[in-house]
Amino acid sequence: MQMRLGFAVAVHLQPDILLADEILAVGDQPFQEKCHARIAELRAQGMTLILVSHSSEQVSKFCDQYVRLDQGRVVEEGRIDKNTPTPSPARS
């Protein structure tokens, strides 16, 4: 319940930058769908999203660029091409 409230407050403020740390990995399916829809709306309005996720599908869906970390070090970074398959989750 606290995660839902935190997300609702954060997006209601319409921030220029939203940091979402695994927020889309919690909650039931209806909550996740509402989160996805709201994030898509905010992105369409020009909001910057910094998404921390182990889901390459979510990263590909919401982000234009990515940085892959291993043990706190950058091992890969680049732009996301929406026309190619998502990176392997094992490498996420």
Is the pTM value of this prediction over 0.75? no
The pLDDT mean for the chain works out to 83
Please report the domains of the chain, with CATH numbers, ordered by start residue. Answer: 2-91 (3.40.50.300)
CA distance 23 to 66: 17
% of the chain beyond a pLDDT of 70: 88
pLDDT band, residue 92 (cuts 50/70/90): very low
Distance, in Å, from the CA atom of 75 to the CA atom of 69, rounded to the nearest integer, reads 6
pLDDT tens digit sequence for 8-41: 888 888 888 988 887 777 778 888 888 889 888 9
Which amino acid is residue 14, in one-letter code?
Q
The pLDDT value given to residue 86: 56
